[in-house]
Amino acid sequence: MVKAAKVVVENATLRFDKPYTYLVPQNLQAKLKAGCRVVVPFGAGNRPRFGLVMEISDITSSDRLKEVASIVDEEPLLSEEMLYLVNYLHETTFCSYFDGVRCLLPPGIGVAMTYTLELAGQTDPTLFSGEQLQIIEYLQGRGKPVKEQTLLNALQISPDAPALRSLVSKGTVIRSQEVKRRILDEKMVMVRLTQDIYELSDIAVKITPKQKAVVELLLQVGQASVKEVCYFAAVGKTVVDRLEANGVVRYFTREVYRNPYEGTYATEDVKNIHLSQQQQTAYEELCRLADEEKANAALLYGVTGSGKTEVFLQVIDHVLQGGRGVIVMVPEISLTPQTIERFHRYFGKRVAVLHSALSMSERMDEWKRIKNGDADIVVGTRSAVFAPLSDIGLIIMDEEQESTYKSEKSPRFHARDVARVRAAYHKGLLLLASATPSVESFYRAKQGKYHLLSLKERYGTASLPDVYILDMAAQQMDARCACLSGELIRQLRENLDRGEQSILLLNRRGYNTLVKCSVCGKVAECPHCSVALTYHSANSHLMCHYCGYTAPIDAKCPVCGSKFLRFSGAGTQKVEQELEELFPDARVLRMDMDTTMSRFSHEKYFSDFSAGKYDIIIGTQMVAKGLDFPNVTLVGVLSADASLYAQDYRSFERAFSLFTQVVGRSGRAEKAGRAYIQTFTPENPVIALAAAQDYEGFYQEEIESRKIHLYPPFCDMVGIGFSGGNLSQVQRAAKGFLDQLAVTAANEYPSLPLRVLGPCESQILKIAGKFRYRMAIKCSYNSTTRELLWKAADWYYAQNEFKGVGLSVEPRYENSI
C-alpha cells in the first residue's frame, strides 16, 4: 500500500478541472494532510502548478503516478468542512475547484511561484555562442542567483527559449523554484531573559545600571517587545543588544494581528438591554431553537425599528455561553460601521470583521484570528459566511432579502444557501431577519419550513412614520430645482428650522444620466458597452458605470461632429448642487460610490452625520437600509419609478423593499417621522403598499402573481450565460448549447420537468467589449438537473468552435427573459 493524494490544480480549464491522483513521496508522508496546498507537476510538460489536497488515501498500485513535488503549508489551511464546501460550490455553481478555494481563503494568503537561475560552477564561455553565450556572460557578471524574469527581460528572450532550456537540461545552469507568500505575517521582535536567569544574582557577567534596569523590568513582566523595553527602562536598543550578545536575554518574534479595530473593548453588558414582550418571546424561542442539537432555520420578521438587533445581541450572548461561535452578515459595507460599533460595545475583542474595505493584510489577519480561536463572533458582508469558525451555533443574515448576498462572479453562490449548508453541518441555527423578507423566505416560513417569529411594533416609544405620496405630474416644481417637488422643499426647510435631520434617496449616481448631441440627438454611449454614458460634474467627464470608460465632456458627436450639449436625467451630484443652492445654510452630505471609495469612508460619514455635523444626506441605496439615526425625522424618495420597472420578475419586490426600508429610517426615536415618495405613477399598488408599510398585503399580491406565471418559490430559476468578443459566435454557442441540452434531456432525462426561455440578448448586450446572450431554465434545481447541466457543459467545453465564448451557469437566476 502506498499513500496517494487527490489534488485539484490551480488554473486548470473547466474541461480538465477535476481531482488528480498524485503519489505522496516517502519524505512528505508524515507532513502532508488534506487541506494543504502543494506544488505538483501538471500536463504533458510537467509544468509546476499549485494545487490543493482534497483527500489522502491508500492505494495498491502507483504505476505511472506523478509525485507531489513540495508542500506549501505546514498545517492544513482548510478543514474537513471547508473541503466539503469547495466540493459543494463546484457541484452547485459550476465553478472551478480553485474558484471555490479562493472564496474560502483571504486574498492575502495567496502564494506566488518564482524561479532563480545560477551557474552550476566554473564555466568556460568560449564553449558557447549566440543566446547561450549571452546567458552565461549575464550570470557570470551577476555572480549570484538571478530571478529568471529579470534575466528574460534583460536579454529579451522567452521562458521557452531553446538556448535556456538546453543549458538547464545539461546542468550548466541551475533553475531553482521558490514559493513565497504574497503578504507576509506581521512580526514583532520580543525579548525575554534566558532560561536560567530567575533573579539578578543568576547573571554571571558584569552589567551596567542601564542593563540592570532592563533585567529588572523583564524579571517583573516576563517578556515584552523591544520597543516596550526601551521605553519603560528608558534605554536605547544597543543596551538590549549587549545583553543579548552576553547571553542574558534572548530575542524572538511573535506574530501580531493587523487589526483596524484595535483598542475596542466591551463597555456594556448585553443583560442590561431591556426587551419588550414581543422581543422577549422571540428571544426565548430562538434560544430554544439554538439549544436543540439539530439544524434549525428561523425567520425574524419585524417592522423597521422594531428592535431586531437587540434580539440578535441577546441570542448571540446565549449561544456564546454555550461555547459556540456566531456569524453575523449584513448586505452592504455601508451597514457595517454601526453594526460593528454596537457589537464591539458588547463583545469587544471577541468580534472579528470581514469585508472588502479592509486591506488584504487586515483581512488575512482577521481570518487567522478566527481560525486560531481568538475571535468567536464574525461580522461582515457576504464573504463572512465562509469564516473558518470550528463550531458554529448561530448564523444571522440581516436584511436577508438583499440581492448583494448573491455573488455575480464565479462562484455564483448565494450566501443564504451556503449559510444553510453550514448550519446543517454544525447543527446550528440559521436566523434570517428583515422588515421585508424575500418572497421565497416568507413562503417557506408560511409553509412551516422556517420558524416564523414576528415583531409588529417599533421598539420603545417610537412609531412608524406618516407617509405621503407626491404625484409629480400634479406637483408644482421650484424654478431652481428639477428634482425636488415644492412640498418636499418646504418639508426640508421645516426640518432645518427645527434642527432635525433628513435623508433623500436617489438610486442614481453622477450628475446627468443622459447626454445627447445638440444637433442630431445621438446619445453619448460607451464604445465598449451597450449603455449611455453618465456625466460626472466632480471630474467634468462622461463615465461608463459598467467598464469604467471615461471621455472628456467636450468630446464630439461621432455622427455629425458637433459637441454633446444636451443634458437630462438627474443623479446624486445634481441633487447635491440643487440642495446647496436652495439651502445655502444647510450642511449637505452626498453618499454614493464616488464619495465612499476611500478606506473607512462609510464609518467617517455616518459617524459625522450621527454627531450632527450634517443636516441632509443625499445618497444611493447605501443610505436606505439598517441605519439608525435618532434625529432623522424626514425621508424623501426621489424618482421612485426608476426602481419599479426593471426587466426582471423581482422588480416589484426590490422596489417595495427599498421604499419600505428607506421610509423606515425616519422617526426611530421619540420624535415623530414622516416620509415623502415622489412618483409619476401614484396609482401603482407597490407604492401604496410601501407607504402603508404593509408587507403582508404586498406578499399576498406578489405570491399570486408568482404562482400564475410560475416563478420562484414555485420553481427554481437557472441562468445560462454566454459571452465573447464575436457576436455571431456567441449566438451560435447559445443555440448549440440549447440544442445539446434538449437532446440530452429528451434521451436521458425524459421525465425531468424543464421550461427553457431563450436564448436571447442579455438586458445589456455588450459590457467591456463582450457580447452577452442568456437563457433561463425553470426547473427543480436538484442533483438530477445538475447532472444534466454538467453533461451539457462538458459537451460545450469540448467544442472547438465555441472557444473564446465563456459559459456561466447561475443558480437563483433573477432576470426574466
As a whole number of angstroms, the distance between CA 641 and CA 647 comes to 13
Is position 242 within any domain?
Answer: yes
Transcribe 294-325 into DSSP letters: S-EEEEEEE-TTS-HHHHHHHHHHHHHHTT-E
Measure Cα distances from 675 to 372, 487, 502, 664, 789 in Å: 47, 11, 10, 9, 48
Average pLDDT of the residues in 680-704: 91
Q: 419 or 546, which is more confident?
A: 419
Task: Answer whether residue 265 shows pLDDT above 60.
Answer: yes
> Based on the domain organization, do 122 and 103 belong to the same domain?
no
As a whole number of angstroms, the distance between CA 631 and CA 426 comes to 42
Weakest-pLDDT range from 41-55, 424-438, 447-461, 637-651: 637-651
> Based on the domain organization, do 475 and 599 belong to the same domain?
yes
Under the phi-then-psi rule, with left for phi > 0, alpha for psi from -120 to 50, and beta for the rest, what region is 298?
beta
User: Quick one: pLDDT at residue 389?
Assistant: 95
> Based on the domain organization, do 294 and 420 belong to the same domain?
yes
> 246 phi and psi, to 5 degrees?
-90, 5
Q: Are 31 and 71 in contact (CB under 8 A)?
A: yes
Domain that holds residue 734: 716-811
Residue 540: CB atoms within 10 A of its CB come to 11
Confidence of residue 235 (pLDDT cuts 50, 70, 90): confident
Map grid coordinates 525575554 to a residue: 192
Do the annotations mark residue 36 as ligand-binding?
Answer: no
Amino acid at 587: R
Do the annotations mark residue 544 as ligand-binding?
Answer: yes
Percent of the chain with pLDDT over 90: 41
Chain mean position to CA 431: 20
Domain boundary among 110, 134, 153: 110
Q: 477 or 129, which is more confident?
A: 129
Is position 540 within any domain?
Answer: no
Burial class (CB in 10 A: 0-12, 13-18, 19+), 548: exposed
Task: Answer whether residue 184 shows pLDDT above 60.
Answer: no
As a whole number of angstroms, the distance between CA 199 and CA 24 comes to 51
Is position 321 within any domain?
Answer: yes
Average pLDDT of the residues in 343-356: 87
User: Quick one: pLDDT at residue 706?
Assistant: 94
Does this model's pTM top 0.75? My answer is: yes
Interval 143-161: pLDDT, tens: 788 888 888 888 888 877 8
Do the annotations mark residue 483 as ligand-binding?
Answer: no
Please report, for the domain that includes residue 222, its CATH number: 1.10.10.10
Is position 751 within any domain?
Answer: yes
> Based on the domain organization, do 283 and 233 belong to the same domain?
no
Peptide bond into 584 cis (omega under 30): no
Length of the chain: 817
**Nearest C-alpha neighbor of 285 from the set 420, 397, 422, 431:** 431
Chain mean position to CA 227: 37
Average pLDDT of the residues in 280-296: 93
Is position 816 within any domain?
Answer: no
Beta strands in 270-411 (DSSP E): 296-302, 325-329, 351-354, 377-380, 392-398
Residue 580: CB atoms within 10 A of its CB come to 13
Average pLDDT of the residues in 424-432: 96
Please report, for the domain that includes residue 587, its CATH number: 3.40.50.300
Instruction: Classify 798 as helix, strand or coil.
Output: coil
Q: Are 279 and 455 in contact (CB under 8 A)?
A: yes
Task: Answer whether residue 185 shows pLDDT above 60.
Answer: no
Residue 205: CB atoms within 10 A of its CB come to 10
Burial annotation 389-398 (CB, 10 A radius, 16+ → b, else e): beebbbbbbb
> Based on the domain organization, do 337 and 424 belong to the same domain?
yes
> Based on the domain organization, do 274 and 420 belong to the same domain?
yes
Average pLDDT of the residues in 538-554: 81
Task: Answer whether residue 643 shows pLDDT above 90.
Answer: no
Is position 240 within any domain?
Answer: yes
Task: Answer whether residue 794 shows pLDDT above 90.
Answer: yes
Interval 304-327: pLDDT, tens: 888 898 999 999 999 999 999 999
Interval 480-510: pLDDT, tens: 677 888 889 999 999 999 999 999 998 888 8
As a whole number of angstroms, the distance between CA 252 and CA 273 comes to 45
Domain count, the chain: 6
Is position 525 within any domain?
Answer: no
Please report, for the domain that includes residue 722, its CATH number: 3.30.70.600
As a whole number of angstroms, the distance between CA 379 and CA 516 comes to 45
Task: Answer whether residue 129 shows pLDDT above 90.
Answer: no
Is position 218 within any domain?
Answer: yes
Burial class (CB in 10 A: 0-12, 13-18, 19+), 615: buried
Transcribe 408-469 into DSSP letters: SSSS--BHHHHHHHHHHHHT-EEEEEESS--HHHHHHHHTTSSEEEEE-S-STT--PPEEEE
Task: Answer whether residue 377 shows pLDDT above 90.
Answer: yes
Task: Answer whether residue 356 shows pLDDT above 80.
Answer: no
> Based on the domain organization, do 17 and 87 belong to the same domain?
yes
User: Quick one: pLDDT at residue 442?
Assistant: 96
User: Quick one: pLDDT at residue 264?
Assistant: 65
As a whole number of angstroms, the distance between CA 424 and CA 420 comes to 6
β-pair type (249-255, 187-193): antiparallel
Interval 558-594: pLDDT, tens: 778 777 577 777 888 888 989 999 999 999 999 888 7
Measure Cα distances from 519 to 524, 537, 564 in Å: 13, 22, 9
As a whole number of angstroms, the distance between CA 626 and CA 435 comes to 10
Domain boundary among 133, 150, 181: 181
> Based on the domain organization, do 661 and 792 belong to the same domain?
no
Q: Are 214 and 235 in contact (CB under 8 A)?
A: yes
As a whole number of angstroms, the distance between CA 161 and CA 148 comes to 12
Transcribe 240-267 into DSSP letters: HHHHHHTTSEEEEEEE----TTTT----
Domain boundary among 110, 127, 160: 110
DSSP 8-state secondary structure symbol assigned to residue 350? G
Q: 427 or 643, which is more confident?
A: 427
Confidence of residue 599 (pLDDT cuts 50, 70, 90): low
Transcribe 598-654 into DSSP letters: STTHHHHHHHHHHTTS-SEEEESGGGTSS---TTEEEEEE--THHHH--SSTTHHHH
Do the annotations mark residue 529 as ligand-binding?
Answer: yes
Interval 723-740: pLDDT, tens: 999 999 999 999 999 999
> Based on the domain organization, do 98 and 31 belong to the same domain?
yes
> Based on the domain organization, do 101 and 143 belong to the same domain?
no
Do the annotations mark residue 560 as ligand-binding?
Answer: yes
> Based on the domain organization, do 494 and 596 belong to the same domain?
yes
User: Quick one: pLDDT at residue 108?
Assistant: 67
At a CB cut-off of 8 Å and minimum separation 6, what does 150 contact? none
Question: Grid coordinates representing 88?
Answer: 459543494
Task: Answer whether residue 792 shows pLDDT above 90.
Answer: yes
**Nearest C-alpha neighbor of 580 from the set 484, 679, 510:** 484
Q: Are 699 and 758 in contact (CB under 8 A)?
A: no
User: Quick one: pLDDT at residue 112?
Assistant: 67
Map grid coordinates 529579470 to a residue: 150
As a whole number of angstroms, the distance between CA 219 and CA 215 comes to 6
> Based on the domain organization, do 648 and 748 belong to the same domain?
no
Transcribe 718-769 into DSSP letters: EEEEEEES-HHHHHHHHHHHHHHHHHHHHHH-TT---EEEEEEEEEEEEETT
Do the annotations mark residue 517 as ligand-binding?
Answer: yes
